Amino acid sequence: MIDIVIIGAGMSGIACARALRIAGAPVRLIDKGRGIGGRMATRRAAVSGNSITFDHGAQYLDQTEDAASIAALGQEVVDRWSLADGTSRIVGVPTMAALPKALANGLNITLNTRVRTLRTCGDLYEIETDAGRMTASHVVITVPAPQLASILGETNAIVQQASSAVMLPCLTLMAAFIPDTPASFVTKRDVNPVLSWIAQNNTKPGRSKAYQTWVAQAHPDWSTTNIDVDRSEIKAQMLDLLCSELGVHPTKLCYADLQGWRYGLVEKPLGKSFVKHGTLWAGGDWCCGTKVQDAWQSGTDIATNVLRTLELSSSLRSEVAIQRW
């Protein structure tokens, strides 16, 4: 019996599951997260009874043909974010996480379930999760490359191949200030030796204007050095730098939090859209690029390959049946 399990419900896993479902293949997704979308993520917070959000993962989709074609699949939850230089980017509304959520509509997804290990068991795979065991005939893993080893073991052929992809941490600060705080810019890149990107989150369409909300990302090398340093210390350092960059007095601060993406950004991709061993595939942005559209491409290419494998095995089965008959 065919039973396909996809580990990871980020953009790559969703792309793969959608393509398989369209082809009529039975597919289940499992994710350890509380929500759908992986690094295309949104943090929600309550400040004095107001709900505010921060896109603390992917900031936007590029204005490229491949990114726009993903946005077109969820056109009811995307809009244009106008930047001060007259350009615009595609964003999810009311949050970035709205897009993966819409794209995953109707898929069979189990959240809050971490996959611990995966072992072959005859022709099947045995998947051990923190909620129990399950089996599958075909498995697609779309977790960040460095996290494959904990599921498959260091010596696994897929882990070995994926090890040439490099992913780096990204420490990300979220901060909200009182609404009438003066703001001299919407986004800023390569701000100083620590901060690589600052964006005024509430200027994106559909966001609450109750507070002035900012997302600030640290450079990958600074994030690598500091990923294991005490989070309150890092938060204070990044906050000081953000306030001085904005020219805002810290007393105007209403909320601040820090997200440490340990495997946040792809530094060096693998150079091909997935890795495969038998009926086990692994993919994600780290295969062919650094962005959402690369994750989507990897998932889509895996689905095509899974379907080809299924076709081959079914024609092999009918050949054997004819010979026996």
Ligand X SMILES: Cc1cc2nc3c(=O)[nH]c(=O)nc-3n(C[C@H](O)[C@H](O)[C@H](O)COP(=O)(O)OP(=O)(O)OC[C@H]3O[C@@H](n4cnc5c(N)ncnc54)[C@H](O)[C@@H]3O)c2cc1C
Contacts with 93 (C-beta within 8 Å, 6 or more apart), sequence order: 77, 78, 79, 204, 205, 206
CB of 200 to ligand X, least distance (A): 15
324: amino acid identity, one letter = R
Nearer to ligand X, 204 or 291 (CB): 291
Nearer to ligand X, 35 or 250 (CB): 35
CB of 280 to ligand X, least distance (A): 15
Of the listed pieces 58-66, 132-140, 205-213, 302-310, which binds ligand X according to CB under 6 A? 58-66
Structure tokens at 201: 């989150």
Nearer to ligand X, 33 or 94 (CB): 33
Of the listed pieces 59-67, 238-246, 268-276, 314-322, which binds ligand X according to CB under 6 A? 59-67
Q: Which of 76, 118, 74, 113 is nearest to 296 (CA)?
A: 74
Q: Which helix (H) or strand (E) holds 191?
A: none
CB of 288 to ligand X, least distance (A): 10
Assess 125 for contact with ligand X (CB under 6 A): no
Report whether the peptide linkage leading into residue 182 is cis, meaning its omega lies within 30 degrees of zero: no
Q: Give CA 96 to chain center in angstroms.
A: 11
Answer yes or no: are the C-beta atoms of 62 and 200 closer than 8 Å.
no
Nearer to ligand X, 33 or 250 (CB): 33
Assess 40 for contact with ligand X (CB under 6 A): yes
CB of 173 to ligand X, least distance (A): 11
CB of 19 to ligand X, least distance (A): 14
Mask for 216-235, x = binds ligand X (CB under 6 A): -x------------------
Among 74, 92, 264, 269, binds ligand X (CB under 6 A): 264
DSSP string over 113-134? --EEEEEEETTEEEEEETTEEE
Among 30, 90, 238, 246, binds ligand X (CB under 6 A): 30
Among 43, 138, 204, 291, binds ligand X (CB under 6 A): 291
Assess 107 for contact with ligand X (CB under 6 A): no
CB of 277 to ligand X, least distance (A): 18
Structure tokens at 41: 């993520």
Q: How far apart are CA 71 and CA 62, in angstroms?
A: 10
Q: How far apart are CA 261 and CA 124, in angstroms?
A: 33
Q: Which helix (H) or strand (E) holds 162?
A: helix 157-162
Q: Which of residues 171-190 bind ligand X (CB under 6 A)?
A: 172
Of the listed pieces 102-110, 139-147, 176-184, 199-207, which binds ligand X according to CB under 6 A? 139-147
Q: How far apart are CA 319 and CA 26, in angstroms?
A: 23
Assess 99 for contact with ligand X (CB under 6 A): no
Structure tokens at 194: 């620590």
Q: Long-range pairs for 195-203 at CB < 8 Å and ≥24 separation? A: 195/219, 195/238, 195/241, 195/242, 195/245, 196/220, 197/59, 198/242, 198/245, 198/246, 199/59, 201/53, 201/54, 201/55, 201/174, 203/81
Of the listed pieces 35-43, 188-196, 219-227, 245-253, which binds ligand X according to CB under 6 A? 35-43
Nearer to ligand X, 15 or 176 (CB): 15
Binding residues (CB under 6 A) for ligand X: these are: 7-13, 30-33, 38-40, 57-61, 114-115, 142-144, 147, 151, 170, 172, 217, 261, 264-265, 284-285, 291-292, 295
